[in-house]
Amino acid sequence: MTIKQNQKYVLDACCGPKFMWFNKNHPNVIYNDIREMEKGFIKNRQNIEIKPDTLHDFSNLPFPDKRFKLITFDPPQVICKSKTSTLVGCYGSLDKEYDVLFEKGIKELWRVLDDFGILFMKFNNVHINFDEVLKHFPQQPLFQTSTNRSKNVLTRWFCFMKIPIAETETQAQSKIGSFNKRYQETSEEVSQIADATSDNANIKLNRGGKGEL
């Protein structure tokens, strides 16, 4: 049975050679990358290839809002100008504008993730601190796990769930703020009316007093 692309609910946003996957051609997954590399691009590992289903920058995806139930995100993690190293060949590289890329890219991934959907991010702090990437997510990760490769370099997996309650809380705070503003304006109007009524009453009393003399 062939599954159409619009029926696939898992997105690998930066699939590369699909190292993390047991089934590198899973029928329910859209494998995406910005590059396509034929077998042999790494001389000592002839079976490796980068063959995505779609060729898109993860910061500019053509998919509709809330399209995916699960997203895996293993973006480039090294800042390197060289295009000949095995690491860059497999995973790609970043430039000095990486902060802008992550700001746009994470917002885009969050857009195409369905409510209560899951996003897994794998990241390595070889050049960029975790906090520099995590700050762009609208919610905190639910949990993380890490693997050590050296004393100074750490690879972590972060799990996010797109819980709409965060947006609801924001809307509630906005409504509370609007209510408080209206309440304050109404209180000021009532106070002005009371003052005006009091002034009119005093005038009438004063006029009445003069008339009696």
Domain of 48 in residue numbering reads as 5-163
Which pLDDT tens digit goes with each residue over 75-133? 988 887 666 677 777 778 888 889 999 999 999 999 999 999 999 999 988 889 999 99
**At residue 206, does pLDDT exceed 60?**
no
Q: Which residue in the block uniquely carries the two structure tokens 């590399």?
A: 37
How many domains is the chain built from?
Answer: 2
Residue 109 and residue 26 share a domain: yes
Question: Are both 155 and 81 inside the same structural domain?
Answer: yes
Q: Of 163, 180, 198, which residue sits at a domain end?
A: 163
51 shares its domain with 103: yes
Contact in structure between 106 and 58 (CB atoms under 8 Å): no
Q: Is the pLDDT reported for residue 193 higher than 80?
A: no
Q: Are residues 34 and 76 located together in one domain of the fold?
A: yes
For the stretch 125-177, pLDDT in tens is 888 999 999 999 999 999 999 887 666 788 999 999 999 975 555 555 666 66
Strand partners, 143: 159
Judged against a pLDDT cut of 50, whether residue 212 lies above it is answered with no
Q: In the predicted model, what is the mean pLDDT of residues 202-209?
A: 54
∠ CA 4-1-8, nearest 5°, is 30
Which pTM value belongs to this model?
A: 0.73
CB 117 within 8 A of CB 70: yes
Distance CA 30, CA 9 (A): 8
Taking the C-alpha atoms of residue 138 and residue 108, their distance in angstroms, rounded to an integer, is 12
CB contact at 8 A, 154 and 146: yes
The alpha carbon of residue 89 and the mean position of all alpha carbons in its chain are separated, in whole angstroms, by 27
